[in-house]
Amino acid sequence: MTSLIDDLKQLETAEEFLDYFNIVYEQRVVDVYRLIILQGARGLIDDANTSASSDQALFERFRRRLQDAYAECRDGTAGKRAKAPPPAASPCETDAAAAGTVFIPLEAVMGLRRPKQP
């Protein structure tokens, strides 16, 4: 296990990690998602330090993880695993009576007076 960890610690760029794990990549994808790929690659070192698996098993597992991370970047789905909650209804779309709200005119908030109607 020590040799794999030592090898990973020597790698610095996203391209070096992808080359080490024999992952074919497009430079334009790496240029855009370099930070995400490097964050994933650095996580591999932490996992390797705590794993009791053989170098070959770790290599295969890490290769799959890095390949999946690269594929998410290539497909534009990186960082989009969790669905965002639906947007809340804006005040314009909510019935004031049903929401239990009261209309307060801007003049009242600003301390302005309405001109008297003749």
The per-residue pLDDT for range 44-100, each reduced to its tens digit, is: 777 766 776 788 888 888 888 888 888 888 887 655 554 444 454 444 445 555 556
**What pLDDT shows up at residue 22?**
92
Helix axes of 27-50 and 55-75: crossing angle, nearest 10 degrees: 150
**Domain positions in the chain:** 2-75
